[in-house]
Amino acid sequence: MDTHAVAGRLERRTLLQALAATLLWPAAAGARPVPSPDPDAPQAPAVRIDNGLVSAILFLPDAATGYYRGTRFDWSGAVADLRAGGHSYFGRWFPAYDPKKHDAIPGPVQDYVTGQGFEAAPVGGRFVKIGVGVLKKPAEPIRGFPTLEILDGGRWTTRVRRNAVEFLHVVDDPESGYGYRYRKTVSLPPGRQQLVLSHRIEATGRHAIDTEMYDHNFFVLDGQPSGPDVEVRFPWAAEAFNIRGDTIAVAGNKLNYKGPIERPVRMQLKGFGPTPADYDIRVENRRTGAGVRVAADRPLSDFVFWTSPRTTCPEAYIHVHADPGKAMDWRITYDFYSLPAAERLTA
């Protein structure tokens, strides 16, 4: 008998039982914990939700065993796998895994860019990163996305239903004067090939919450690499600036790959207007037929396109603001579809 294999199965079973005991499960939830889909993180807690048309596996926040424990992205709502209409849309896109690496996470995930109280904090002082907690300000200027020391991770509560997961993160830091109640619900509406991210943040400290937030989608359509089969479109004519890399062609309202890419490409885009109507992004693999439309109920404040050999990432920004005692709500919607045969690449 392979004692190591038996021990591994018992360890995973114990983990799943513990997870089921600590989550808040409604009486007829229908969803249950599942093993982590990433063999490099076998202990990472995960759940599956389903509406009959879309099935998704989500990683759950956990300071000890969570899949993502970096300090760049909000810990809630990372989609490890999503399937709809015979296509897949998210998954692991990076070669090496480290739970504290800033981008070792599948999408869609959010980065609340501004550290609340960062500028006022002394070196070694405290500031707040939404979706992460209270961080320690380092002595060195921040370049890139270093993983910082977490002084207080706040309190996470997770409620799971058959077709949705609701995350609540509460942070209260009297020393910096910042606090919040942040609720995010990831849902699969009945009867639709759709994923909805519903957000609400309430400022509970002395100071207002104010930050730019972008949705880093990390699309991996049908598990295929980035390249000429993939097209990105908007309802506005895009103009690129701050360009790093030369393998993306920008023409009118479309972004196209000139060929396979070997290293990341990044650019900012302008041309969008001041209404939510321009938060309308389509990403399609014209060979496999997988398509997704992303829309929101808030206007764009900035737009970045980033891609690497394994993922396509339109990064749509919105401005998030809540005065003390007030809240802000917003929604991001993903509609999944298949391209008609006549619109697919065949050669």
d(CA 175, CA 131): 18
Q: Tell me, yes or no, if the pTM score tops 0.85.
A: yes
Quote the tokens at residue 263. Answer: 């290293």
Find out whether 165 and 51 touch, Cβ atoms under 8 Å.
Answer: no
What are the pLDDT digits (tens) for 146-202?
A: 999 999 999 999 999 999 999 999 999 999 999 999 999 999 999 999 999 999 999
Residue type, 68: Y
Q: Tens-of-pLDDT digits for all 347 residues of the chain?
A: 444 444 444 444 444 444 443 455 443 345 678 999 999 999 999 999 999 999 999 999 999 999 999 999 999 999 999 999 999 999 999 999 999 999 999 989 999 999 999 999 999 999 999 999 999 999 988 887 999 999 999 999 999 999 999 999 999 999 999 999 999 999 999 999 999 999 999 999 999 999 999 999 999 999 999 999 999 999 999 999 999 999 999 999 999 999 999 999 999 999 999 999 999 999 999 999 999 999 999 999 999 999 999 999 999 999 999 999 999 999 999 999 999 998 899 87
Find out whether 281 and 305 touch, Cβ atoms under 8 Å.
Answer: no
d(CA 322, CA 270): 26
The string over 112-125, giving b where at least 16 C-beta atoms fall within 10 Å of a residue's C-beta and e elsewhere, is bebbbbbeebeeee
SS3 285: strand
Q: What is the structure's pLDDT at 141? A: 83
Tell me the DSSP string of 171-212.
Answer: EEETTTTEEEEEEEEEE--TTSSEEEEEEEEEE-SSS-EEEE
